Structure 1
Amino acid sequence: MIKKLFIALILAFSICGTIISEAKSLTEVEVFDVSKRKVVKTIPNTDQIQKEVRLCIKSIHELSPRADLNFKTGMIYKIPIEPSMQVENQLFHSLVNEVYLIIQNEPERPLLLLFDDENKIFLTHFKYEIRPFLLKNTL
């Protein structure tokens, strides 16, 4: 069920991204509004965003026990990693070329959705505090 939900979500990102603009760079960050069910914004994938998301990835510390990801509000950021990053920790061993940062309303913790080389889904919690960066940079 969860895998089907994420496959549908990924397809929605792909379709929306294609519809919005064929000319957009592949390196842009797409912001998906869960309540509106569409990409509401694209932003340049800056060095600072790359730095912040890499810090999130490095601070992964546990898999999320959440089974139901059918939330009604929140934002999902599809962030390409350039260049790809090799992640090796107790939970995840694979090359990462994009992540999905899931931000929900407080008090829910942000989540990172990663895929390994075999397209297995890893929904993880991380220790790095990303919200101040998101608020400051109005992602």
Structure 2
Amino acid sequence: MQKLIIVTSAALALIFFSQSSTFAETRDIEVFDTVQGKVVFTASPSKQLQQEAGSFLQHLTDVYRDVSPLPNEGYMIRVPLNPPVEVNNQWIHELIDEVVILYSTEDNPYLLVFDQENQARFFTFEGDAASFLSHVLQKGQLFSAPRLNANNGQR
């Protein structure tokens, strides 16, 4: 049953990400509000935001083990990585060209990446997730964010 929930959650994330033709064409940063169920902001990625998101991948701490990995209330921020970031650790050995940072009202931030077989992989990480979220929300003038737990990506 848990495996079914995880597969279903990953499929929903994949549907969200594959439905955005804007991202596929321009490789913008996208902010998806899970309450509204839609992308609420897109922007050209700055080098600073790409580097910050890429650094999260270099500081993975564990596999995210929640049964339902998509937040009920929060944001999913998809960031293209150019150049792609090579990640080699005990959980994943991939060249990653985009990362999704998931912010929730219930848990610390965590990451979603897709491997070469397009399988969703969720990880906890260390990094300044609060600062990253602040930069993205200011860029999009999204100041009515729900109360998110952005405790620097640490569990």
Q: Tell me the TM-score normalized by structure 1.
A: 0.85
Percent identity between matched residues is 26
Contact 1:13 1:39 in 2 (8 A): no
CA distance in 1, matches of 2:13, 2:136: 25
CA distance in 2, matches of 1:119, 1:102: 18
Alpha-carbon shift at residue 43 of structure 1 (Å): 1.4
Contact 2:9 2:68 in 1 (8 A): no
Contact 2:77 2:100 in 1 (8 A): yes
Indicate how the Cα distance of structure 1 residues 29 and 104 shifts in structure 2: closer, same or farther if over 3 A, else same: same
Please list, as runs of the form range in 1=range in 2, the aligned pairs for 1:1-139 lying within 5 A after superposition. 1-15=5-19, 17-18=20-21, 25-105=25-105, 108-138=107-137
Alpha-carbon shift at residue 132 of structure 1 (Å): 1.9
Indicate how the Cα distance of structure 1 residues 100 and 7 shifts in structure 2: closer, same or farther if over 3 A, else same: same
Contact 2:29 2:42 in 1 (8 A): yes
Q: Aligned partner of 1:13: which letter?
A: F
Alpha-carbon shift at residue 8 of structure 1 (Å): 2.2
CA distance in 2, matches of 1:136, 1:12: 23
CA distance in 1, matches of 2:34, 2:119: 22
Contact 2:71 2:103 in 1 (8 A): no
CA distance in 1, matches of 2:80, 2:7: 21
Alpha-carbon shift at residue 10 of structure 1 (Å): 2.2
Contact 1:13 1:32 in 2 (8 A): no
CA distance in 2, matches of 1:70, 1:124: 12
Alpha-carbon shift at residue 40 of structure 1 (Å): 0.5
Bigger CA drift: 69-78 or 40-49?
Answer: 69-78
Q: Tell me the TM-score normalized by structure 2.
A: 0.77
Unaligned runs of 5+ in 1: none
Aligned residue pairs: how many?
Answer: 134
Residues 70-93 of structure 1, C-alpha deviation per residue, up to 9 Å, x if partnerless?
532000011111111211012111
Q: Aligned partner of 1:27: which letter?
A: R
Unaligned runs of 5+ in 2: 140-155
Contact 1:55 1:128 in 2 (8 A): yes
Residues 5-41 of structure 1, C-alpha deviation per residue, up to 9 Å, x if partnerless?
22222222332x23xx59x852210100000000010
